[in-house]
A and B are shown apart, each in its own frame.
Chain A
Amino acid sequence: MASHLVRDLTVLLGPKAVLHKPEDLMLYEYDGSVETASPECIVFPKTTEEVSEIVRIANRYEAPLLGRGAGTGLSGGAVARAGGLVIVFSRMNRILSVDAENQRAVVQPGVVNLDLSRAVEHLGLYFAPDPSSQKSCTIGGNVSENSGGPHTLAFGVTTNHVTGLELVLTDGEIVRVGSKTAETAGYDLTGVFVGSEGTFALVTEITVRLVRKSETVKTLLAVYDTLDDATESVAEITRRAITPAACEMLDGFTLRAVEDYVHAGFPKDCAAVLLIEVEGLAEATIAQSAEITDVCRLHHAREVRVAKDDRERDLLWKGRKNAFGALGRLSPMYYVQDGVIPRTRLPETLRVIQDVSRRYDLRIGNIFHAGDGNLHPLILFDQRDPEEFKRVVAAGNEIMRHCISVGGALTGEHGIGMEKNELMPLMFSADDLALMGRVRAAFNPTGRLNPGKVLPLGKSCGEIRVHPLPVSVTAPA
């Protein structure tokens, strides 16, 4: 029997835009992380006004709710931890306007990241944040998570590319923050909103900057016989203040898996490769690639090759962007971390990860954004083995603690979500977290929007615990 909540939503949106059968709900229990939880109802609005009405209906029944794009997030941000209602933005997927002269686009939250870049390609423009999931992840999700990607090394993450938002607040009010211009009057509400992981308000429209494509791009592959030589090369590239557009590293374990899967052209007998890209005027890329080649050779790269055409370049990137999938073939499950360290600490940190791998007897692949110190250790495991899972969690914590101990951060681009919220005290004091809780409460006073995310659930942090909504909830009088 459908609840009153489902009934009211169906009246608003029609039966095709509301899912509530268990077999339909199952598809929305998870995202790209290891977390799962069951929602009670899924809705697919088409307009901002519908989103506002949905929020009002949810409030009538005190139902928890959250927004969801493609569900590719890696920290449980789009998992309905307290049950309730999930608003899926896949039908709000229009590019509303493109202003080539001013390099802006206005999009709905369900627009797929890569679709925007493809739509403006003929104008010589693109949307710079390029997460590995860019073929399916949505810009609404990118805004919530402040997503990065390989090319954010030179071009910045999502927050550097969003100038304005239309929001539906938790009382259903529709408000615009920021604008199309880079400078906005008053407090930078757009700035504090991007990366708030869906806990402040729902995003219904996004104004983004578009970036002009570079004249030339050169992609280099440097091949190493030791991991240390690869990490030392990255540290030296940073030290020499060379700024590539991207600087990615794959360790030998990972690249062998990738090669078997994608056939990208990575040599299978090496210890690590660096995938480095430089962009700009032809003169600039020639000079930069020469300097990078020098650094790599100095650190004993056995080969440095420049992709000779677009096909070879695309293949190398295909290898990089499908690496998580490739490792997924080796193991039923993997746990990917996202810690960040100062770039100078890369060599020692990779040694720590190798040591953790040995001590916990776990296979760990490393594939990550080396240029900005954003690690992605992938710990392989089998979830049917509870003892192994315990070791995975302990190993993950140890790596994370190391990152923090050298002055780093818990997450560079995947978000805190429900996966790392209990680790927040590693980086933030009780007062820091209390203030974050107060800011969230100013946006989301009932705590029913995306509950149980970002901040620890401990008693000191003002987290409002929301209990799962019984499906048979009745309407208030």
Chain B
Amino acid sequence: MTSPAQPSPMRLEEIVGPSHVVTNPAELSAWRVNHKDPRAAVQPTEAAQVAEIIRYAGAGGLGLIPSGGRTKLGIGLPPTRYDIALDLSRMNRVLAYDPEDLTLGVEPGVRVEDLRRTLLEEKQFLPLAVPFADRATLGGIAAANSNSPMRHSYGGVRDFCLGMEFVTGDGLQAKSGGRVVKNVTGYDLHKLLIGSLGTLAVITRLNFRTFPIPPVQRTFVASFRAAEPAFEFCQAIANSVLMPEIVEIADPAAAAIMLTKEPLASIDGRLWSVVIRTTGQSAVVNRCDQELSQLAVTAKAASLDALAGSDASSLLSGICEFPQLVLGTNPSALIFRIGLLPSALPSLHGIFSRLANRNRLGLVTLSRATGFMYAALLPERGTECVPAAMANIANEIFQACSAPEISAQTMLEWCPTEINAAVGTLWGTPRADSALMKRMKVVFDPKGILSPGRFAREI
């Protein structure tokens, strides 16, 4: 075989027009992934152009990484090849919005913040309170399966995404699902793309169901002096008749980080905070208020406060932007995202605490009562971070999380490139179904050109 092909700017310009191909090295750093710059960035506006670019890349064996708002390109292993940045930010049209049917179809480059404004006009919303809210796009949110505190009541992207159109690694323009709220026609291929980090196909359209904005919402913070009563309080809420929209558990360090942006009277950076948002008609919210007060007394909360509107929104934004806030405080942080059963939350927190103490690392955690935890390990500022040593710690975490009594699903979502490369996996030891995942990769991207090596070493 000859030396790896170079993307031909001329050919790319033929596809998308001359002003939408970037080859100037200084500008290309905008699409940098794990210290690696692409050799060209191309900005299509149509699915057909995406297909043509992918077929072109496939013919030359060029590695291609799709992006939108470029907020989450740090998630994933370092790519084994990166020739073309497929920038979808110009595919930013709302293709169909039927507020009366509560359904929506958008291109992948639509920013979640712009969409929020559009839906707000009809008093509707998508339950995606995700990180990087100002710049994140719908395609990127789906590809990274961004977690949202609203998962508690609305589920994740997979639960309200009705269908997708996409282009596979061999340039096939395909779709699955549909545009109606209930549908079992054909295989739900789009579910595979959610959380696939751009390794299976490039999303060109997403269909969602939308939701009415509840008439009243009220946010509460309950404070606790220790972890156990905070988690017990959440379990009591789960066992009650209440159906809050959000139940988040911030450890003292997380509360402190969220306060750095905007101090709030009702949050004490020395205590554990449980943040609850209830929604509905005002009679419903008032009833929740009463019930929560009783549960808080039983759980021996240090305090329970209802937040004023502006405080509530700045606290919620702190919760949503947790990964960004942590990285802002400490760019060397290792942030794990962990799915687990609610009952295992306290033990998992204990495991992280012991490991952090032993290795003189800082620890910040933000948990969702429905069974999710962000746990960030923070190397001391100024100390040198040896990638191999940090990789050992990460592997220890993977192992502890997979112990039967925890049975957590762990992903090392954010960490410096050097550590990422040293760990060599996002998920820990390969699971029994890894072989099936590899088969899916071969089906969708037989030449291995889409975000190569970013999901797992061979994927």
Determine which residue in B168, B411, B433, B439 has the highest number of CB atoms from chain A within 10 A of its CB, and name it: B433
B151/A182 in contact, CB under 8 A? yes
**Chain A residues positioned under 8 Å from B340 (CB to CB):** 181
**B409 within 8 Å of A (CB atoms):** yes
Known: A344-B101, A411-B183, A442-B439. A435 touches B172 (CB 8 A): yes
What's the minimum C-beta distance from B61 to chain A, rounded to whole angstroms? 21
Stretch at the interface among A10-18, A238-246, A296-304, A352-360: A238-246
Of the A-B pairs whose beta carbons lie under 8 Å apart in the complex, a sample of 13, sorted by A's number, is: A159-B188, A169-B436, A175-B432, A175-B435, A182-B372, A184-B409, A186-B434, A186-B437, A281-B284, A281-B288, A413-B182, A429-B174, A435-B444
- Nearest neighbor of B210 in chain A, beta-carbon distance: A241
* Separation of A152 and B159 alpha carbons in the complex (Å): 12
Most buried by B among A283, A374, A436: A283
Question: How far does the alpha carbon of A157 sit from the alpha carbon of B343 in the complex, in Å?
Answer: 25
Q: How many residue pairs bridge A and B at CB < 8 Å?
A: 252
B365 at the interface (CB under 8 A from A): no
Cβ 8 A contact of A160, one of B147, B159, B370, B443? B159
- Of the candidates B179, B440, B444, the one having the most CB atoms from chain A within 10 angstroms of its own CB is B440
Q: Does B436 contact A99, Cβ atoms closer than 8 Å?
A: no
Choose the segment among B110-118, B190-198, B317-325 that binds chain A (4+ C-beta atoms closer than 8 Å): B190-198
Which of A175, A238, A416, A439 makes the CB contact (< 8 A) with B185? A416
Q: Are A409 and B183 in contact (CB under 8 A)?
A: yes
Instruction: Tell me whether A183 is interfacial, beta carbon within 8 Å.
Output: yes
Segment 113-169 of B: residues with Cβ below 8 Å from A: 123-124, 147, 151, 155-156, 158-159, 168
Decide: A440 and B187 in contact? CB cutoff 8 A: yes
Q: Are A284 and B281 in contact (CB under 8 A)?
A: yes
A-B interface, 8 closest residue pairs, ranked by CB to CB distance from nearest? A183-B339, A241-B212, A191-B191, A283-B283, A181-B339, A409-B183, A215-B241, A102-B341
Contact residue among B178, B241, B433 (Cβ-Cβ distance under 8 Å from A427): B178
Cα–Cα, bound, A192→B186 (Å):
10
Give the residue of B182, B407, B439, B456 whose beta carbon is less than 8 angstroms from that of A181. B407
Supposing A177-B433, A410-B185, A442-B440 touch, asked if A187 and B284 sit within 8 A by C-beta, the answer is no
Would A102 and B371 count as touching, CB distance under 8 A? yes
Which of A175, A192, A415, A441 is the most central at the interface, judged by chain B CB atoms within 10 Å of its CB?
A192
Which listed residue (A194, A284, A416) contacts B280, Cβ 8 A?
A: A284
Using known A-B contacts A176-B432, A238-B102, determine if residue A373 contacts B180 with beta carbons closer than 8 Å.
yes
Interface residues of A in 373-421 (CB under 8 A from B): 373-374, 407-416
Question: A187-B196, A189-B437 in contact; A372/B181 too (CB < 8 A)?
Answer: yes
B355 within 8 A of A: no
A157 to chain B, nearest CB (A): 7
B182 touches A340 (CB 8 A): yes
Contact between chains at A409 and B180 (CB < 8 Å):
yes
Pick the contact of B342: A102, A185, A428, A443 (CB < 8 A): A102
Q: Is B458 part of the contact surface with A, judged by Cβ < 8 Å?
A: no
- By the criterion of a CB under 8 Å from any partner CB, how many residues of chain B are at the interface? 84
Decide yes or no: A241 and B124 within 8 Å by CB, A410-B185, A427-B185, A427-B186 being known contacts.
Answer: yes
Residue of B nearest to A176 (CB): B432
With an 8 A cutoff between CB atoms, is A270 at the interface?
no
Interface residues of B in 420-459 (CB under 8 A from A): 427-428, 431-437, 439-440, 442-444, 455-456
B185 touches A181 (CB 8 A): no
Interface assignment of A179: CB less than 8 Å from any CB of chain B: yes
Please encode chain B, from 6 to 40, with 1 for each CB lying within 8 Å of some chain A CB and 0 for all others: 00000000000000000000000000000000000
From B155, B180, B341, B370, A340 is in contact (CB under 8 Å) with B180
Contact of A407 among B151, B179, B342, B436 (CB under 8 A): B179
Task: Tell whether B175 is near chain A: CB-to-CB under 8 Å.
Answer: yes
Q: How many chain A residues touch B (Cβ–Cβ < 8 Å)? A: 84
Interface check A468, CB cutoff 8 A: no
B222 at the interface (CB under 8 A from A): no
- Tell me whether B204 is interfacial, beta carbon within 8 Å: no
Contact of A281 among B185, B287, B337 (CB under 8 A): B287
Per a CB cutoff under 8 Å, which of A238, A280, A372, A424 touches B182?
Answer: A372
Cross-interface CB contact of A432 among B174, B408, B434, cutoff 8 Å:
B174
Q: A24 in the interface, Cβ–Cβ < 8 Å?
A: no
Q: Does residue B294 face the partner (Cβ distance < 8 Å to A)?
A: no
- Pick the contact of B186: A180, A186, A287, A432 (CB < 8 A): A432
Shortest CB-to-CB span from B338 to chain A, Å, is 8
Name the CB-closest residue of B to A243: B212
Quick check: B147 and A413 within 8 Å, CB to CB? no
Bitwise interface map of A from 135 to 156 toward B, beta carbon under 8 Å scored 1, else 0: 0000000000110100010001
Distance between A291 CB and nearest chain B CB, rounded to angstroms: 9
CB nearest to A428 among chain B residues: B186
- Residue on A with the closest CB to B177? A409
Confirm or deny: B410 has a beta carbon within 8 angstroms of a beta carbon on chain A.
Answer: yes
Q: Apart from A175-B435, A182-B155, A187-B195, what are 20 other A-B pairs with CB-CB below 8 Å?
A: A99-B343, A102-B342, A176-B433, A184-B339, A195-B188, A214-B241, A241-B123, A281-B242, A281-B284, A283-B283, A283-B286, A409-B178, A409-B182, A411-B183, A413-B184, A424-B185, A427-B178, A429-B175, A431-B173, A442-B436
Chain A, range 66-93, C-beta contacts under 8 Å to B: none
A315 at interface, CB cutoff 8 A? no
- The yes or no answer to B189 lying at the interface (CB within 8 A) is yes
In the complex the two chains form, is B287's CB within 8 Å of A192's CB? no
Quick check: A342 and B103 within 8 Å, CB to CB?
yes
User: Which residues from 187 to 238 on chain B have a C-beta closer than 8 Å to any C-beta of chain A?
Assistant: 187-189, 191-192, 194-196, 200, 211-212, 235, 238
A186 engages B339 (CB within 8 Å) = no
8 Å CB contact of B175 from A145, A428, A454: A428
Q: List the B side residues contacting A191 at CB < 8 Å.
A: 158, 188, 191-192, 194
Given the known interface contacts A180-B407, A186-B437, A243-B212, the answer about A146 and B184 at a Cβ–Cβ threshold of 8 Å is: yes
- Which B residues touch A407, using CB under 8 A? 179-180
Looking across the interface, which residue of chain B has its beta carbon closest to that of A181? B339
Does chain A have a CB within 8 A of B384? Answer: no
Question: A235 contacts the other chain (Cβ, under 8 Å)?
Answer: yes
Asked if B98 is at the interface of the complex by the 8 Å CB criterion, the answer is yes
A236: nearest chain-B partner, CB-CB = B100
- Indicate if B243 sits at the interface (CB-CB under 8 A): yes
Q: Which of A83-131 contact B (CB under 8 A)?
A: 99, 101-104
Q: Does A188 contact B (CB under 8 A)?
A: yes
Contact B436 A439 (CB under 8 A): no
Whether A99 lies near B191 (C-beta < 8 A) is no
CB-defined contacts of A185 to chain B, threshold 8 Å? 339, 409-411, 427-428, 431
Q: Is the CB of B184 within 8 A of A412?
A: yes
Given A99-B341, A156-B155, A342 contacting B180 (CB threshold 8 A): yes
Min CB gap B164→A, angstroms = 11
B45: interface (CB < 8 Å): no
CB-CB contacts below 8 Å: A436-477 with B:
436, 438-443, 454
Task: Let me know if B176 is at the binding interface, CB within 8 A.
Answer: yes
Check A196–B187 contact: CB distance below 8 A: yes
Q: Nearest-CB distance from B392 to chain A (Å)?
A: 20
Within 8 Å CB of B408, what residues of A?
181
- Rounded to whole angstroms, the CA-CA distance of A283 and B433 in the bound complex is 46
A183 and B155 CA atoms in complex are apart in Å by 10
Collect the chain B residues with CB atoms within 8 Å of residue A102's CB. 341-343, 371
Most buried by B among A145, A282, A373, A409: A409
A320 at the interface (CB under 8 A from B): no
